[in-house]
Amino acid sequence: MHRSGTRNTRIIIIGAGIGGLAAASALRQRGYEAHIYERASALTEVGAGLQLGPNAVKVFKALGLEASLRANASEPTKLTVLNWNDSSLWSREPLKGVTNSKYGGSYMTMHRADLHRIFHDTLAEGSIHLGMQCVSVSTSNGTAAARFTDGSEVEADIIIAADGIRSAIRQQLFGAEELRFSGMVSWRAIVPMECMPLRLGPQGSVQLERGEAFSWLGPTGRVLCYPIGGKGESLNIFAGTQSNVWADESWTTPSTREELLAAYAGWDEVLLELLSNAGENCFKWGIFDRDPRFEWTKGRVTLLGDAAHPTMPTLAQGANMAIEDGYVFAKSLARHPEDVGLALTAYLSERLPRTGMVQMQSRKQFANNLKVPPPPFIDRSWIYYHDVTRDAAV
Ligand SMILES: Cc1cc2nc3c(=O)[nH]c(=O)nc-3n(C[C@H](O)[C@H](O)[C@H](O)COP(=O)(O)OP(=O)(O)OC[C@H]3O[C@@H](n4cnc5c(N)ncnc54)[C@H](O)[C@@H]3O)c2cc1C
């Protein structure tokens, strides 16, 4: 990773999720040593996969992390979409090589823990402070302060709140706003690649090959499978289905393989057989989001990632947007090193319109997926073409 000399601006990041780590990594490349305060006592990521679009992959390239990404991620060869009830072919598009030449970045899939580690490895030792739950922030005379449950207080020139979809800092700054339950519940599971069906559809008319991503689309939801691991050794399953209620207080709750299978009763047998490989230790997520908001900054504190723009996973862009946010934040600060206020304004003016449009298109795509028959996917090339690193020279 290319780095410039150390700069003095004091930066605190609350939350060591994908957004917080991406921001710290991008800042370090520009010579800023941010300190991250994370409430968890150990750094862990949920056992599930993640898709990275060409737009986020461009950020890895700009940070000098493309080789690490390629060593830990898969690049699916194609995306094949199947009909829910008989696995007949709905659409098939090439991905490997094509997305790179078309959009300037590959389409990659990987385990979340690997993504975490790639960013983590770029940071200075001692820059992540675990077991530190932030309870409040404030700004006074151009200095920000964060307070923690243990009674300690840390001052900074800027605080980035990357504390996720249920951000306490967002609530403190802008007031309580209910999350919107999107009408979607999802399961995530990882199974050995050997479980992947290779011939399916009427009279075995569809052949799948290892290394491709494939999904079933039906009137109540979608199941998407893709390879993860540097050698594509595992298959990640994301199963999203329509639901009117999410009764639980928490957004993730233990489930069972039986409950997962029941949600897809009547879908093609091949899919049910694949789902039956999901381990007993199965979790489901209620999918929530919020309307776009047009102010993320108060004083010297700003929001980043899900804290700023929680997004439905239908376009698989939530983490991608958090990674872009981190890069743009560092770029804006490097461009206005003497004027933190201007840097924050530059960050917002670049990020607000784009993240808001992605939030809204993710909702629309979810609604479209439930139509019978579903219309063609909404064009997402504007998301992939975008390159937050293009005008990065300072
Ligand atoms: C089922 C599902 C599938 C998804 N698939 C994809 C995908 O394929 N591609 C994609 O781009 N996105 C995907 N997403 C979205 C993606 O997971 C999120 O957008 C992303 O994880 C947001 O990162 P973040 O860093 O903003 O928040 P988080 O990852 O939630 O991190 C927030 C961190 O802040 C910490 N924290 C919280 N409060 C405090 C506090 N008060 N003090 C200190 N620390 C605190 C938390 O412990 C956590 O470590 C998916 C989401 C879901 C639910």
Catalytic residue among 32, 103, 226, 264: 226
User: How far is ligand 1, taken at its centre, from the CA of residue 7, in Å?
Assistant: 28
The mean pLDDT of the chain is: 93
Instruction: Look at residue 136 and tell me whether its pLDDT is greater than 50.
Output: yes
146 within ligand 1 shell (Cβ under 6 A): no
What are 325-365's pLDDT values in tens digits? Answer: 999 999 999 999 999 999 999 999 999 999 999 999 999 99
236 within ligand 1 shell (Cβ under 6 A): no
Interior angle at CA 328, CA 383 and CA 159, nearest 5: 130
Instruction: Look at residue 249 and tell me whether its pLDDT is greater than 90.
Output: no
User: Looking at ligand 1, which atom is closest to the CA of residue 165?
Assistant: 30
36, 45, 50, 223, best to mutate for ligand 1 pocket (most atoms within 8 Å of CB): 50
What are 360-394's pLDDT values in tens digits? Answer: 999 999 999 888 888 988 999 999 999 999 975 54
pLDDT of residue 370: 84
Nearest CA to ligand 1 atom 52: 313
Instruction: Look at residue 168 and tell me whether its pLDDT is greater than 90.
Output: yes
Confidence of residue 99 (pLDDT cuts 50, 70, 90): very high
pLDDT of residue 393: 52
Nearest CA to ligand 1 atom 3: 313
285 within ligand 1 shell (Cβ under 6 A): yes
Confidence of residue 210 (pLDDT cuts 50, 70, 90): very high
Mean pLDDT of 317-322: 98
pLDDT of residue 114: 95
> What is the spatial distance between Cα 49 and Cα 168, in angstroms, rounded to a whole number?
26
Give the global pTM: 0.96
pLDDT of residue 281: 64
12, 13, 18, 246, best to mutate for ligand 1 pocket (most atoms within 8 Å of CB): 18
- In angstroms, how far is CA 66 from the centroid of its own chain? 18
Confidence of residue 82 (pLDDT cuts 50, 70, 90): very high
Instruction: Look at residue 51 and tell me whether its pLDDT is greater than 50.
Output: yes
User: How far is ligand 1, taken at its centre, from the CA of residue 164, in Å?
Assistant: 5
pLDDT of residue 374: 83
For a pLDDT cut of 70, what percent of the chain falls above it?
95
What are 257-298's pLDDT values in tens digits? Answer: 899 999 999 999 999 999 999 876 678 889 999 999 999 999
Mean pLDDT of 211-226: 95
User: How far is ligand 1, taken at its centre, from the CA of residue 163, in Å?
Assistant: 8
310 within ligand 1 shell (Cβ under 6 A): no
Mean pLDDT of 77-103: 96
Instruction: Look at residue 251 and tell me whether its pLDDT is greater than 80.
Output: no
Confidence of residue 248 (pLDDT cuts 50, 70, 90): low
pLDDT of residue 163: 98
Respond yes or no: is residue 226 known to be catalytic: yes
